[in-house]
Amino acid sequence: MKASRMRDLSRRAMLYQAAAASGLGGVYTMSASAQQATPGRVPAGGPGAPTLPGPGRGAPVHYGPINKFSSPSDLKITDIRALRVAANFDYPIIKVFTNQDVYGLGEVRDAGDENLALAMKPLLVGRSPLDISGILQSVRPYAGPGRQGGGFSAIDIALHDITGKVFGVPVWRLLGDKKRDRVRMYCDTTGTRDPKKYGERMIARMKLGFTFFKMDVTTNFIGGTPGNLDTEGIPTDKGLEYGGELIGAVRDAIGWDKPLAVDAASLRCGTVTDGIRAAKAFEKYRLSWLEDLFYTGGFWRWKDFKEIKAHTSTKLLTGEDGFGLEEGFQELIDNRAVDIIHLDHGTSGGCRETKRIADYAYNRERIQTAIHMAGSPLATIAAVHTAATLDDFVAMECHAVDFISWWQQLITGLPQPLIDRGYIAVPDAPGLGVELNEAVVKEHLRQPGYFEPGTRWDESFVGRFRGGPWPHFNVDGVWVNERTEDY
């Protein structure tokens, strides 16, 4: 047998082994066309694209041409770089490079900082990007609530993008089965003190095709009339009644049968008592959810949410600043403190951890999941892959509808409009199934540079010590225990 033929066979054997090792063995079938795939090409739809039968239809699954320039067993991360798109909330986007030209894109939580991901560089470079759980375990100690979850989440997304491309499967396939072909979207609606105008603005949302609606009720909107807020700025019963008038006007405009949620993060309910008053005042509007009753969100206040929940039929939701199951959501779920958890895909942990939290919520307490999203279309599509696999998913947010005309043009690879009649179609191309539109991204950079290389994070910012007595100044102010080659 010729040496080149043997090399080809052994590479194919490695692909099978790597697929089996990653848990893809059961779904992974190399088709004849896959074996003849053109090296270096990733199918992205159109003629020759992968055929993807829907789940449960009984047909064999052929994910089509394999990216044969990737030899999974030799794949290594070589670099991680970033750029930041200037938007209503900035979009820090990362790119994870490998030694085989295949790369992955990810995004740090909106209005976060790309350095949250770049700082993990020493924990990534030299490792296989297919070791997703191993790498995530390494970076987990540096993740936390709010924007601090952004670095972990961006890396998770980029690793799934690479792995999907290497094995020729969409990211949702790496996470589980596809439970829906499209993901329902909702968007915030610019608020006003005028009930009639609020109704008109929501009708404009309907005309855009949305089928799920959300409005804010804030102290600003209800505070225009004397007596609506007390001297501490907390809504009085009269003020809550006016809040109800705003909700009622929107209900009358769009119809009482439509799903309508209310964000109460700016209603200044700091205590359980105020939270119960607000939740009870809005009961008759049968909201899809009442969001973040506490002024600072307060997803960790599960005892308070549980007490409010015991006193009202209004559905409660929180969670957009929570990271991780154990770190952020387990107590909220175990105690059934809310009806729906609201996971920001860029904070909760990206694809894998978000699915883990949502699955736990559904399996343990039948708690539903909604996704908070204020990122770019790249981050949105990553979350669409995750949402596609969830058992009981409600809807995902888009924060750019009123503000950014070029939002959907930041990516290529999917039909536009991206949000079509209130839904985004779940991509079936390998990886995330989208690429950045370089020209449009370059028009909107916060600072110059398109994934420029850098050395700032080449050295680890923690964990430099490698054993032996810890170097320090002793009681006499003398530096002792400096590391030497003897260690």
Interacting residues toward Mg ion by CB under 5 A: 263
Q: Toward Mg ion, which CB reaches closer, 130 or 379?
A: 379
DSSP assignment of 407-453 equals GGGGEESS-SSSSBTTEEEPP-SSBTS-EE-HHHHHHTBSSS-SS--
Residue 141: cis peptide before it, omega within 30 degrees of 0: no
Minimum Å gap between C-beta 180 and Mg ion is: 23
Q: Toward Mg ion, which CB reaches closer, 304 or 428?
A: 304
Q: Going by C-beta distance under 8 Å and a sequence separation of 6 or more, which residues neighbour residue 431? A: 42, 104, 160, 161, 162, 163, 164, 165, 170, 171
Minimum Å gap between C-beta 197 and Mg ion is: 22
Q: Toward Mg ion, which CB reaches closer, 110 or 263?
A: 263
What's the first-to-final CA gap in the chain, in angstroms?
A: 51
Rounded-to-integer distance, Cα 443 and Cα 87, Å: 11
Minimum Å gap between C-beta 310 and Mg ion is: 23
Minimum Å gap between C-beta 265 and Mg ion is: 5
In 3D space, the residue among 101, 92, 74 whose CA is nearest the CA of residue 14 turns out to be 74
DSSP letter at 53 equals: P
Q: Which amino acid is at 226?
A: P
CB 336 within 8 A of CB 316: no
Provide the phi-psi class of 356: left if phi over 0, else alpha when psi is between -120 and 50, else beta. Answer: alpha
Minimum Å gap between C-beta 263 and Mg ion is: 5
Q: Toward Mg ion, which CB reaches closer, 84 or 399?
A: 399
Minimum Å gap between C-beta 372 and Mg ion is: 6
Minimum Å gap between C-beta 294 and Mg ion is: 11
Rounded-to-integer distance, Cα 44 and Cα 23, Å: 23
Which residue number places its CB atom closest to Mg ion?
263
Q: Toward Mg ion, which CB reaches closer, 90 or 263?
A: 263
Q: Toward Mg ion, which CB reaches closer, 103 or 210?
A: 210
Helices (DSSP H) in 295-392: which residue ranges?
302-309, 330-334, 350-365, 377-388
Q: Toward Mg ion, which CB reaches closer, 155 or 261?
A: 261
